[in-house]
Structure 1
Amino acid sequence: MKEFLCSSVYFGVAVSLIGYAGGVWLKKKFGFAFLNPLLISIIFVIAVLSILGIDYDTYEKSTKFLSYMLTPATVCLAVPLYQQISLLRKNLLAVALGILSGVLTSLAGVLVLAAVFGLDHQWYVTLLPKSITTAIGMGVSEELGGIVTITVAAIVVTGVLGNIIGDLVFRIFRIKEPVAQGLALGTAAHAIGTAKALEMGEIQAAMSSLSIAVAGLLTVVGASIFANLI
């Protein structure tokens, strides 16, 4: 059975989709925020691979068809932004300052925590790109001398947490403006946060998808500056 699954080009896709579908079902049935479909699918995939004794490289090879769809799916995020272009122009200054403040807060937060916990330079720069999309974050981490695999893990954890606690944070701080909600999710929790924004509404989705790109570019510049502080 193991050999059959390892040789299947659809094994990884099937496991990933089953795990995500199960997460969606659990979220709809019980409604708890921690039952995030992405988090459930991650746990499910890890459990299946561990039980069957299949290594990650084998799983990754069998998910290439699913991974191929990430690019067009990301491009599609431009659609809600185009539909809300007039709103973007109206709030351009607020949007720009919101994203900038989010990026600076993320970088400064890592700096403070690194100083408090006594992290060395390598671990510090590894965590700097935690709030941007994986493709950009990996490049930033490698360029600064960080541990790329840990950076990827930090990015995923950050995104999942942002997705899970986003609603709670908005309720606590009474953030009801759709533009602000979208900017917060996209800037702090990148693509995974944008998935939450898509559930909330078109305006949130548009602002969040914009934030992913802009926050990524600002973090590339900001991280190179902050990297010299420790």
Structure 2
Amino acid sequence: MLHELTSNPLFGLMLSIFVFLAARRLAARVKLPILNPLIVSILVVILILKLTGISYEDYYVGGGMLNMLIAPATVSLAIPLYQSFHLLKHHARSILAGIFAGTLVSTLTTASLSVLFHYNQELMASILPKSVTTAIAIEISAKMGGITTVTIIVVIITGIIGAMFGPTVLKWSKVEEPVAKGIALGTSAHAIGTSKAMEMGKVEGAMSGLAIGVTGLVTVFVAPLVLHLFSSLL
């Protein structure tokens, strides 16, 4: 009886939605960065599956349906970008320079840490595209011979950490320009960071959405080059 219930596509879907909405309400009441709705939802769902003995396969029958929304959700970020297009034209050079610099620093730092901790080439390829959105990161990782499962995990962790601590780092760094805040969050923490940027303001959200696409494009070219340069050091 339980298996028939949990294997129904609606089970995983409704569980994911209900837990996330509850986590959002908790985050709204308790203003702590660590209580990010996404990370709380992940931990709660894992706990429920462990305590009830429900298999991940049964849960994913419905939970996986949410994956279909990744692409349209990413495309929808173009709406706030269109509304702030005048800012893009005015700050074009600064925006592109900031995104390129952020992407280059991210990939070089990741590669350096991979060498430091003696990762093999496959693992390095898996984590290099950690700062781009999942759909793009999977393709980059696969082309470089990485493990896509590891890539997904690293991308999620990167986004959560960026959304949790990014605003605090920007505050400590005394970054007050909305355009700069949005570019920083989008370049370093992709879609999850963008969701936080949109909470901060329309300009921040629009610039962060722009950064997702440009960062993905730059990473397509930069990541393989960095992998090639550092692979001899592994």
| TM-score, length basis structure 2 | 0.94
1:102 is matched with: 102
Deviation by residue 1:125-169 (Cα, 9 ceiling, x = unmatched): 111011111111111111111111111100000000000001110
Deviation by residue 1:61-103 (Cα, 9 ceiling, x = unmatched): 2135433333332222111000000110000000000100010
Distance 1:116 1:96 in 2: 30
Equivalences for 1:128-147 in 2 at 5 Å?
A: 128-147=128-147
1:118 is matched with: 118
- Is the Cα–Cα contact under 8 Å of residues 99 and 211 in structure 2 kept in the other structure? yes
Q: Are the structure 2 counterparts of residues 186 and 25 from structure 1 closer, same or farther at C-alpha, using a change threshold of 3 Å?
A: same
Higher mean alpha-carbon deviation, 86-95 vs 59-68, is at 59-68
Equivalences for 1:64-103 in 2 at 5 Å?
A: 64-103=64-103
Deviation by residue 1:9-41 (Cα, 9 ceiling, x = unmatched): 211111111211121121111100100001111
Q: Are the structure 2 counterparts of residues 123 and 7 from structure 1 closer, same or farther at C-alpha, using a change threshold of 3 Å?
A: closer
Number of residue pairs aligned between Structure 1 and Structure 2? 230
Asked whether 1:202 is paired with 2:208, we answer: no
* Unaligned 5+ runs, structure 1: none
* Unaligned 5+ runs, structure 2: none
2:8 is matched with: 8
Distance 1:188 1:56 in 2: 30
Write the letter of the residue equivalent to 2:93. L
Distance 1:42 1:198 in 2: 22
| TM-score, length basis structure 1 | 0.96
Distance 1:61 1:7 in 2: 7
User: Moved runs in structure 1, 4+ residues, more than 6 A?
Assistant: none
1:213 is matched with: 213
